[in-house]
Structures are given as structure tokens and as C-alpha cells.
A and B are shown apart, each in its own frame.
Chain A
Amino acid sequence: MEKPLTQHIIPGRAPLSLKEYEKVGGYQSVHKILKEMTPQEVQALVKESDLKGRGGAGFNTGLKWSFVPMGPDAATPKYLVANADEMEPGTFKDRMLLEGNPHQLIEGMIVAAYAIQASISYVFLRWAYKVAAREITKAIQEAYEAGYLGQNILGSGFNLDMYLHTGVGRYMCGEETALLNALEGKRANPRAKPPFPQVSGLFGKPTIVNNVETLCCLPHIVNNGAEWFKKLGLTADAGTKLFGVSGRVKTPGCWELPMGTTIREILEDYAGGMQDGYLFRGLLPGGASTDFLVVEHLDLPMDYPSIQAAGSRMGTGTMIIMDDQICPVGFTLNLQHFFAQESCGFCTPCREGLPWVERILLAIDKGEGKPEHLLTLDFHTKYLGPGNTFCALAPGAMEPLQSALKYFREDFERHIHEHHCPWSKAKAWQPSI
């Protein structure tokens, strides 16, 4: 099985130095694009490869780039940002790439920057990723020394500077327009679109924000071609994907597998199945902001259309397992507490609605719920849903809630009728506020 993204990552060992990385073919794609390809050709190749953004939304990467103004009249400088914020609970895939092979990310960033003719690039890294910060700092320095960054790269006339920027902690910083505000030294509130960042982004200049895993795919697409990349996937979707599993499974972890690998295979063959004494009840397929899937979905392939057809989203591809020993109300409450805390407070439905949802869930969990509470929760899933709030945080928060109300409604009702949590041997989740 081909594992282009992780082939040079050796768990427990320092990542490859630039010299070692070059020996195994690293930076070849930079030589190739600078010598043989125009920026437009790189864009067309990536579009053709059907690479979909790995940050959650799954939009065609080449197509996204094609909205950047090109040519001599385009505004300068243009910016490229690697989104390495990764603060969504249950998501831990980019960490593996950042800590394991920072040169691959830098190489991918050079490809992306060349494709849109950006001259300044940032890695927006979350504060908690200390090991990654150290490794990336080292790798950027090596890349400058080797002439892959800076002025007149490899004598091509192309210039690119790269900076590491560490965030100071806020989930919103991962949303691409909020990230730009954070980089500009402002509160990380999202911006109205249009104008889209491709036209008016960082400091008002054309900007592309791409996820770390997305960027790490690029060198391989340049080296091996669009057809090769498409064929890596088992189903309609192209490429490999980092899939992760956390929760009460025997061997939680993160693996690079072909797009379209079934959930069952990931759960059983890689994560080792459920721990003894725990039964599977449901899972969030791609992080905290995706809808629950249940037993009947286990044979679904993990690809964008299949997961969407089942009423959920691939998201980040990192699954969170809910077992039979944990209360679904407590599970949902924990998620909503996160979203309520991390709401940026900019728009009223989200700022007021999420704490309301949290309070109701807490009441139900404590046995103080009333039947009408379920109606109020249903109401929120609609009015905090897509189109009613300024950004995707609130609709994302509603995905696990609406699907919990659908698949685990009996559990919610039992709490209300029996006036206590049926799982109460475990202490009820107490939010910290």
C-alpha cells in the first residue's frame, strides 16, 4: 500500500534533516515546477488530481487557487498560509505530519506558493504543538540555507519567505478568515465573504489558506501526476488520507490509508476493535463538528460523498468513538461546552444559543430535564444551523447535537422521565464555568 504522506515518518525518531530528505527524493517537486512548469500548469495539475482540502470542508484545492488574481496586474505581495491550528476536539492528524516530516510541509508550501505566485508564507501553528514548533523552526532554517526559501530560489527568479507564527489559543483561529485576523494582530472573529481571501485576504492582499495535510499532498502530485494520485483512492475520491481513531478502542492512533477505506476496516484492523468490556454505540467520523454515525454505517467507505450521503461529514477524518459505558447526554454536553466556550461571540444566535444548549443538556444530565427541553434543543439545531449564523462554528456544533437527538433520543428521554442519569455511576460532567 502506498503511503506517500507518511513514508518518511518514523515514530519515536527525529524527522529527516534536509539532507536526508533530499536523499529520499525530497524537494524534487520544487526543482520540477521551477524548471518545467508555469504557475498555471501547477494549478491545473492539482485541480485535475481532484485533491480536496483536508481541513474539513473538502473543496477542490486547485479550483480554490484558481480564484487568486494572476499576472502582472495582480496585487502584491500575495500570501500563502498553512493552517496548522488543529484545535477541533478529536482531531490530531496534522500533528503527525508537523512533528514527523516538517520538510514535506515546507516543500508543499513552496509548490502552493509558486502556483499562486505568493512571496510570503506563514505556518499558523497552535500554541500547544511545542515539538512541531521546534522542528519547523529548524526545517525552515535548513530550507533557507539550502536556497529553497528566500530570494531567487534555485536561480528561477521566484522569491518566497516563510515564517512560523504560533497562536495563543482559540478554536476560531482555524477558521480561515478568523485566522487572517489573528495574523493581523486582531481578535480572531471571522470576516464577511465576499470578498474571499483569494482576492482580499491577509493585509487586504490575495491569500490562500490551506490545511497542513492538503499541502503535504502537493509534492507527490507534482512528482507522480494527477492520475497516480486519483488511483490512490479506492472509491470516487482521490489520494490517501490520514484517518485517526480515539476512544475506547484497543489501539487508538492515526494511519495513512487509501481514501475510501471502510470505517469497519479502520476500526477493527487498525484500531484493534473495542476494548474488552466496551461495546460500540456510535462515532463522530471526522472530529467534534460532524454528525454521529451508528452501527448500520460501519461498512461505509470513508470518502466525502459516502459519508455525506449517510448524513454526516468526513471532516478531518479523525473518528471519535462513543461506547456503551458513556452517557450520550454527557458526551453531547461535553461537545457543546467546548463550542459554547470557543464561540467568538460575534453573532447573537451562536453567542446566546450555545450556552443555552449547554445549560439544557446539563439540566437533562442532572435529571432536571423537562420534556419540552427536547423541543428547545430541536429548535436550536435548526436556528443555529447553516445560514443563520455568521460562520460555520455554530452549524458545526449542531451536527453532533442533531444526530445525537436522532440516534440516542431514547437516552435523552430516559434521563427526563427517570429524573436521573442512567449512567450515574459515572459522575455527571461538570463544565468548568
Chain B
Amino acid sequence: MLTAEEKHQIDHEISLVPAPKNACIEALKIVQQNHGWISDESLNDVAEYVGMSPAELDSVATFYNLIFRRPVGRHVILLCDSISCYVMGFEGIKEALHEKLNIQYGQTTADGRFTLLPNCCLGTCDCAPALMIDNDLYRNLTVEQLDEILNKYT
């Protein structure tokens, strides 16, 4: 069920475009903001609200890297695996994260705290290697900094 507040926000997005379905990505973003991911139930609700079939909306949702169709942890770590970060040794960071969190790419820690995902270039290649946790960007990373960074997120 979409909440009244979600409907209100989606209605605003719909008012800016010719047809309700043009606002479907915005609607998914709004729902994901609240739930962390898009469950089948959320997908069906959004599809109905903007006048699309669930299959049609799913084909849009799954196209985009940052619409999550599976549950994620409370915090999502996006580790840049693109070229400048590769040159500057992001793989050390990756190994350390796998070890510290005891998860591989695409997995969530047992306590539901972190999900680790590879991500293409974060646009801060002059400060490689880099990663993002939720809205926070970390640059010029070293393995030594990781504990302190991870400890900020509960």
C-alpha cells in the first residue's frame, strides 16, 4: 500500500509530465527511499498507481543499477571498480571489505547492516580509489581507514 505521503509526492511528479507513467521512475525512487528497495508488492502498487502493468514497470525498474529489486542492508556500499580506481589499487579495498564484512558483492551482512555492490566510476577519479556509503563519498581510500569509516554506520 502506498502511503498518503508517497501518493502526494508521486502526484507532484505526475503533474510535471504528460502521462502518469512518465513519472514511474520518480515513483520508484520515492518508494525505494522509504523502504530501501522495491518489493514485488511495492512494484505492483506503483504500477497500478501510474497505470502500467507490473511487467512493464519491472522492465524499467530492472534496467537501472540503483533501483534495488532485492532487499538491501541498512547501508549500501558502492565500491568503484572502474579504471582509475583499478589503476590505483581498489582491489585491496575490495579484499579488505570482503574480509571485514564477511560478504561478497551483492550480499548483505548477517546483521543487516551493509550491502556491498560494485559500481562504475563515481566521477572522482583524481581521488581514486573511492567508494560511497549511502550519501557519503570517501576518496583517496586506504585499507587502514576502513574500520573508522564503517564504524560510523550502525
Whether B65 lies near A326 (C-beta < 8 A) is no
State how many angstroms separate the Cβ of A257 from the closest Cβ of chain B.
15
Whether A163 lies near B132 (C-beta < 8 A) is no
- Cα distance, A76 to B19, chains bound together (Å): 17
A203 touches B (CB below 8 Å): yes
Whether B125 lies near A128 (C-beta < 8 A) is no
Whether B65 lies near A169 (C-beta < 8 A) is yes
B residues near A95, Cβ cutoff 8 Å: 123-124
A residues near B18, Cβ cutoff 8 Å: 203
B121 touches A (CB below 8 Å): yes
B55 touches A (CB below 8 Å): no
Number of A-B contacts (CB under 8 A): 134
State how many angstroms separate the Cβ of B69 from the closest Cβ of chain A.
12
A46 touches B (CB below 8 Å): no
| Stretch from A2-10, A28-36, A335-343, A353-361 at the B interface | A335-343
A residues near B60, Cβ cutoff 8 Å: 185-187
A252 touches B (CB below 8 Å): yes
Contact partner of A92 (CB less than 8 A), chosen from B65, B66, B124, B132, is B124
A residues near B119, Cβ cutoff 8 Å: 128, 169
A415 touches B (CB below 8 Å): no
Using CB atoms, name the residue of chain A closest to B59.
A187
State how many angstroms separate the Cβ of B66 from the closest Cβ of chain A.
4
Since A89-B83, A185-B25, A186-B60 are in contact, a sample of 11 more A-B pairs with Cβ atoms closer than 8 Å, ordered by chain A residue number, is A88-B121, A89-B120, A90-B84, A168-B64, A185-B17, A185-B60, A203-B22, A320-B84, A330-B86, A334-B82, A344-B63
**Interchain Cβ contacts under 8 Å between A and B, 21 examples:** A86-B123, A91-B125, A94-B123, A95-B123, A128-B132, A129-B123, A168-B28, A171-B120, A184-B17, A185-B21, A185-B22, A187-B63, A203-B22, A288-B82, A288-B83, A318-B125, A320-B83, A322-B87, A335-B83, A337-B81, A432-B81
Q: A: which residues have CB within 8 A of B?
A: 86-92, 94-95, 126-131, 163, 166-171, 182, 184-188, 203, 244-248, 252-254, 288, 318, 320-323, 326, 330-331, 334-335, 337-338, 341-342, 344, 427, 429, 432
